[in-house]
Amino acid sequence: MPVIVQLPTGKALTVRGAADVFLDALGNPNAVRNYGIGVGKTAERLGEGRPLATVTDEEIGEALELLWGTAAVNTWNSRRAAVMSWLGWCGEHGYDGPAVPAWAKRLAVLDSETPARSKMAIDRLIARREVHLREKTLWRMLYETVARSDEILGVKDGLRRAPLPVKAKGARTKARRRGQAREDFVLEPVYWDAGTARLLPRLLNGCPRGPVLVTHPKPGPGKVVSPRDLCPDPGLARLSYGQARALLDEHTAVRGPGTGWDLHEYRHSGLTHLGEQGASLLILMAKSRHKKPENVRRYFKPSPEALAEGTSLLASGDSRR
């Protein structure tokens, strides 16, 4: 027997009210349990007392990234699907509200390969006239350093020379001494080449202190930004992962929003190209800062000549004379 839900009168709903009425409409306890985590935690992150109509698509994407951006692929896809169903249901029933942005894409399953873009395709994209200097610098840094996106987006204080110390994934906190900040972490160096060296000084000209990669408009009066994420001179905020991902999608999508490149493809492409050029496994591990050889082995692609030379070492003594 179908469950009859008494919908609120009028078209205005708070975020919490929208979550509750959606979950009540599901009826099935298993469905409520499966959807409840994604919808509930997203509602908490957005602010439960806010009118749903005031929430933007960008805020939905940011909430998903903050909550499950580093979770397993299946977890990300499940939570994203729950939020999409929630917001879609609200729209179908006449309640104004946001949608999951195109850049917050469903992730590929673990056994699928991240595309490796050709060096020519990367160079041509960065050389395009309509691409802003900020995006050119970010994409070139991601490719040349093969660093993770959040590591480069977190760079600050106008650092101009390589090696650049970054807070790595899973960074260990330093041994704390009296007066030392809790946020002090062991930093790891990343290296770039001539392309970044040409672009970075031009980008830093307008903001010598604070985050290197910043938004163009200043944050609105209602947006709270941490002082360490703010460039003190122009008052611009640090570029977020969601914003950077959307900008890349805008310049690379050919089959509609959400179909463009992903920021991780620069890291994957850089390591693939190094492997194709014969870089050793140790160099690839040092460059990528992977801790396990099996995570890097797919980039290790020695040439036929290198394989033939290695095989010759197995020849008998007589044949090598």
Q: Which amino acid is at 269?
A: S
Query: Of 64, 59, 63, which Cα lies nearest the Cα of 78?
Result: 64
Query: Of 111, 103, 92, 24, which Cα lies nearest the Cα of 62?
Result: 103
Q: What is the dihedral of CA 261, 264, 265, 266, to 10 degrees?
A: 110
What DSSP element (H or E) covers 188? strand 188-190
Helix axis angle for 29-46 and 73-92, nearest 10°, is: 90
End-to-end CA distance of the chain: 87
Are the C-beta atoms of 237 and 225 separated by less than 8 Å?
yes
What number of CA atoms fall less than 13 Å from residue 84's CA on the CB side? 12
294-297 long-range contacts, CB within 8 A, separation 24+: 296/271
Supply 138's token pair. Answer: 């970010």
In order of 14, 48, 64, 83, 86, the CA distances from 43 in angstroms are 10, 6, 11, 9, 11
Each residue of 157-176: b (16+ CB within 10 Å) or e? ebeeebebebbbeeeeeeee
Give phi and psi for 238, each to the nearest 5: -60, 140
Cis peptide before 115 (omega within 30 of 0): no
By CB atoms closer than 10 A (0-12, 13-18, 19+), residue 35 is buried
Which residues form the catalytic set? Answer: 148, 174, 264, 267, 290, 299
